[in-house]
């Protein structure tokens, strides 16, 4: 299932949501491609979606959940990239 949290995350002069899959990255990439979210907005385990695209991704089938629920479901799926994993990649261990 594709999930999106509310657009509450500030950055680069905009407000953002996170778009994730609770099953596979393939599902996430397919959905993002279908709705025209650029691959450059993919950040290891999620897509950053600007506030002006939020209603569009929901209309296309993303399920609205709280940020807390989004993280809980992402962790449960095994797709969540942890800080330790990020650090390992930065140091060539991932």
The domain spans of the chain are: 2-90
pTM listed for this prediction: 0.85
- Secondary structure (H, E, C), 18-54: EEEECCCHHHHHHHHHHHCCCHHHECCCCEEEEHHHH
pLDDT in tens, 19-69: 999 999 999 999 999 999 999 999 989 999 999 999 999 999 999 999 999
- Sign, CA dihedral 26-31-36-38, equals negative
């Amino acid at each position: 299932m594709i999930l999106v949290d509310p657009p509450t995350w500030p950055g680069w002069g905009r407000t953002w949501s996170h778009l994730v899959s609770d099953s596979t990255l393939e599902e996430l990439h397919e959905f993002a491609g279908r709705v025209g979210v650029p691959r450059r907005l993919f950040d290891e385990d999620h897509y950053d979606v600007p506030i002006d695209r939020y209603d569009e991704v929901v209309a296309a089938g993303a399920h609205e959940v709280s940020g807390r629920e989004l993280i809980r479901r992402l962790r449960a799926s095994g797709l969540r990239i942890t800080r330790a994993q990020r650090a390992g990649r930065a140091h060539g261990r991932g």
